[in-house]
Amino acid sequence: MNKVVRPVAANEPIDMTRTMPPEILGLTRRIQEALAHVAQSGDLDHLIQRHHFFGTDGERAVGASWLSHRLGFDPGIDRLFITGGTQNCLEILMPRLVGTGGCVATEMLSYAGNTQVCKLFGIRVVGVEIDEYGILPDAFAQVCERHHPKVLYCNPTIHNPTTSNLPEDRRRAIAEIARRHGVIIIEDDVHAKLAPGAFPTIMSIAPDITWYLMSVSKCIGMGLRTAFLVAPDARALIDLREPIQSISSWFVPGISSVVVTHLIKTGAADEIAASIREEVAARQAIATEALDGFDFQTKINALHLWLSLPDRWSVRELVAAVRPHNVVVRPSDLCNAGGIMMPNKVRLSLVAPRSKRDLAYAVKIIADNLRREPKQ
């Protein structure tokens, strides 16, 4: 094994576990400009001292227009909330659409945040079988017949953790199955702005039964705690909110909402997303070259890859082997939504490392270890 030298500038462990936007040039300047816009606002005191609820009419109009490029239609302000992130959306939706003791279907490998929200509210989660393209419609139909879920939560575009993109024909089939069984769909499209040219959203196929979520956590920054929630229609949004008039944890942070709206209106949001796509593509090239010869699934605009380990290696052995090199990898058990035996695979974040140099070091350490026998 060739000797690998730890990057001189890196003083902390290299994290390969979390997926957040990578550091890009120009982000600081754009955020500073947006914050200056907030500071110069004529109603700054009101913004700080009052609830911002779900965004102003103007902010929701800007958000609806921004989403229209992905949805294929402008949902309008009567169907859209601005909330404090994807998990915030799920905390709003799950108790109301499913309720304690109800059942949610999702990919058998799925976003851990949703599984944890369901556990919090006493909601049963049933995994649906997937392949390299995503949910299998026949498997979803069987889950509907056997478990009678009230909701299907899915992440069809750059799926977490497998990076699959659900083909359009499957999206249509799943929407039809859901409609036949009275199942509501929650479509988490968090990677939308990183995947131009992606297959049409499920909401555009079945707007009458779909709730659509799109957070800025991957395309701008997690710290803004801002997501857009689009309802099937205006009445559904009223019904969602009406029974409980005021829970402040549902509301978007006012400053974040103004900042995100300013970034969208000035075009900076799209510029940031484009820069992130460029950086992610460069990191994908580094990782795929280092892992040449191994079996993994990824996409050029995915923030992570899904690596299959050689039979002689277990995930826990890999975690232990790279730890002395200050590389942090973790098992993907949190993604287990279906009570299945986890595959011998690991999700590797390509964006958590601070630099491309750190990433190159980390994936080389991983590859070099996997090319030899694990220590007994």
Q: Which domain, by its residues, includes 360? A: 14-24+278-370
56 and 188 assigned to the same domain: yes
375 within 8 A of 321, measured Cβ to Cβ: yes
333 and 244 assigned to the same domain: no
- Domain holding 349: CATH number? 3.90.1150.10
Instruction: Tell me which range, 6-10, 243-247, 358-362, is most confidently predicted by mean pLDDT.
Output: 358-362
184 and 133 assigned to the same domain: yes
- Domain holding 96: CATH number? 3.40.640.10
Q: Which of 198, 204, 130 is nearest to 167 (CA)?
A: 198
Q: What is the mean pLDDT of residues 332-352?
A: 92
Q: What is the mean pLDDT of residues 243-270?
A: 88
Asked whether residue 282 carries a pLDDT value surpassing 80, the answer given is yes
Q: Which of 365, 355, 369, 323 is nearest to 13 (CA)?
A: 323
Q: Is residue 203 part of a domain?
A: yes
Counting the structural domains of the chain, the total is 2
283 and 233 assigned to the same domain: no
End residue of a domain, out of 216, 244, 268: 268
pLDDT at 348: 97
| Backbone CA torsion sign across 94, 130, 303, 337 | positive
Q: What is the mean pLDDT of residues 318-339?
A: 92
- pLDDT classification of 9: cutoffs 50, 70, 90: low
Peptide bond into 243 cis (omega under 30): no
Which tokens in the block code for residue 194? 């990183």
pLDDT at 45: 83
123 and 263 assigned to the same domain: yes
* DSSP per position, 204-267: HH-TTSEEEEEESTTTT-GGG--EEEE-SSHHHHHHHHTTS---GGGSPPHHHHHHHHHHHHTT
Q: Which of 210, 211, 143, 139 is nearest to 170 (CA)?
A: 139
Asked whether residue 4 carries a pLDDT value surpassing 60, the answer given is no
212 and 338 assigned to the same domain: no
Asked whether residue 42 carries a pLDDT value surpassing 80, the answer given is no
Q: Are strands 14-15 and 327-328 parallel, antiparallel or unpaired?
A: parallel
Q: What is the mean pLDDT of residues 169-175?
A: 98
Q: Is residue 7 part of a domain?
A: no
49 and 89 assigned to the same domain: yes
pTM score, whole prediction? 0.94
pLDDT at 29: 96
- pLDDT classification of 1: cutoffs 50, 70, 90: very low
Q: Is residue 8 part of a domain?
A: no
Helix (H) or strand (E) holding 268: helix 268-290
Asked whether residue 2 carries a pLDDT value surpassing 60, the answer given is no
pLDDT at 314: 95
Q: Which of 200, 213, 362, 342 is nearest to 290 (CA)?
A: 362
End residue of a domain, out of 268, 286, 304: 268
151 and 163 assigned to the same domain: yes
Q: What is the pLDDT of residues 65-95, one digit of tens each?
A: 999 999 999 999 999 999 999 999 999 999 9
259 and 143 assigned to the same domain: yes
182 and 227 assigned to the same domain: yes
34 and 130 assigned to the same domain: yes
- pLDDT classification of 251: cutoffs 50, 70, 90: confident
Percentage of residues in the chain having pLDDT higher than 90: 85
Q: Is residue 233 part of a domain?
A: yes
Q: What is the pLDDT of residues 87-100, one digit of tens each?
A: 999 999 999 999 99
DSSP 8-state symbol, 25: T
Asked whether residue 53 carries a pLDDT value surpassing 90, the answer given is no
End residue of a domain, out of 218, 240, 268: 268
Q: Is residue 3 part of a domain?
A: no
**Within 10 A of 293 (CB to CB), how many other CB atoms are there?**
8
320 and 216 assigned to the same domain: no
- Tell me the C-alpha distance between 177 and 152, whole Å: 11
Q: Is residue 165 part of a domain?
A: yes
